Amino acid sequence: MVDVGRGTGRARHSAADALHKREPGPDSPETDPKDSRRSLYHSQDVRRLACHHTGRRSAAAVAAGAIGWGDPVLASGVSTVAHERLWYRGQDAVTLSNTATLEEVTTLLWEAEDVQFGPFRNGGKRKERGQHPLRSALLALSTRVATDPPTRGQPRAALARDAASLVSLVACAMTGGPSRSLSLHIRMARAWNAPHVQDILRRALVLLADHELNASTFAARVAVSTGAPLSAGLIAGLSTLSGPLHGGASTAARALVRSAGKIGASEAVREWLARVSPLPAFAHPLYPEGDPRAVELLARFEVRPIFAELRSVVDSLTGEHLNVDFAIAAMADAYHLPPTAPFTIFAMARSVGCTAHILEQAAMGSLIPPRARYVGPRCRHDRGCPSCRNGDTAVSRLRTEIFLTKVR
């Protein structure tokens, strides 16, 4: 705790406003026991305030905050999270999921005309039996990178046509299903011999189509900002999506469920927490009161008892709400879909949103050139730079124009 001493009335109130804009709770400022006119604030809040200069934070402070779920600093019109709801170009994603198909949401996100993912031609290969869907998709896309034209200078209509062919290629590669001109949720259901899941698949694909600027869309935008082909951006996005803290979270959720089935939900959760690991498929920084995408999906089917028990145990032990990764894992389990189905659903849907960000970045025509804040050993040179002369760690001048802000 840090004592904020007396100053001018305006300065003290400005500091108080900046330091404390939360509801009363454990993090609220405390009254100084020695002087009731003074307040004590958390040192981390004071340090944050110290980063402000004449009402504006330094570039380094903005970067650090953005990387740690801080301020959004990239202008995008694709999607956003506001009031704990997900919005696709101003339209509520949950509301759209009641009737829309992924193709219709693609048309909205891409600002294109009647996007359809038709049968893929020109060398597209279906998923080989036993091969992971991600491997199939990356191999298929890699055949395009060396020959596809750069995005720079291409008209948006041409880029949108190429984008539709790439998503069609990914669909063919990941599902191995029929490539006829059918909606993707129908093609996926037929590929899994599960026609009864068509509607829930449609809803899931719409709800997962995009989620603001997350790790995978950021990676894709960086790639395309260099002028690289659309296929290169999609490879970057899908590769990043595979991580266990992103699109691969449903795999960890399945591991937790298996453990719960062996030793009981309570013991499985306690063991997981004892490893100081965040519980997969629970909690989301943008949805402190619960993920609306998960709520919408879970209302459409009955989960197996082990999933319900896990949900209850986690709620009693941690108070954390489940997120959409839990819903997708529970859905795949309830409908007896393949083990790779949760990731396939996530990746297939997010290919659309990732491509929307790629198209938006290509239209901007600007390079994303972030630089690092150097925290290594002091520079060894005859004439010390100002930071070295002051005894500080040498810090490179940060020229970052765009920063990672929000995941998933």
Which residues belong to the active site? Answer: 284, 325
* Cα–Cα nearest to 346, from 210, 233, 220: 210
3-state secondary structure the chain: CEECCCCCHHHHHHHHHHHCCCCCCCCCCEECCCCCCCEEECHHHHHHHHCEECCEECHHHHHHHHHCCCCCCCCCCCEEEECCEEEECCEEHHHHHCCCCHHHHHHHHHCCCCCCCCCCCCCCCCCCCCCCHHHHHHHHHHHHHCCCCCCCCCCHHHHHHHHHHHHHHHHHHHHCCCCCCCCHHHHHHHHCCCHHHHHHHHHHHHHCCCCCCCHHHHHHHHHHHCCCCHHHHHHHHHHHHCCCCCCCHHHHHHHHHHHHHHHCHHHHHHHHHHCCCCCCCECCCCCCCCCHHHHHHHCCCCCCHHHHHHHHHHHHHCCCCECHHHHHHHHHHHCCCCCCHHHHHHHHHHHHHHHHHHHHHHHHCCCCCCCCCCCCCCCCCCCCCHHHHCCCCCCCCCCCCCCCCCCC
For residues 110 and 105, give the distance between their C-alpha atoms in angstroms, rounded to a whole number: 8
Q: Is 2 strand, coil or helix?
A: strand
Residue type, 313: V
Contact 69, 60 (CB under 8 A): no
The backbone torsions φ and ψ at residue 140, rounded to the nearest 5 degrees and listed phi first, read: -65, -45
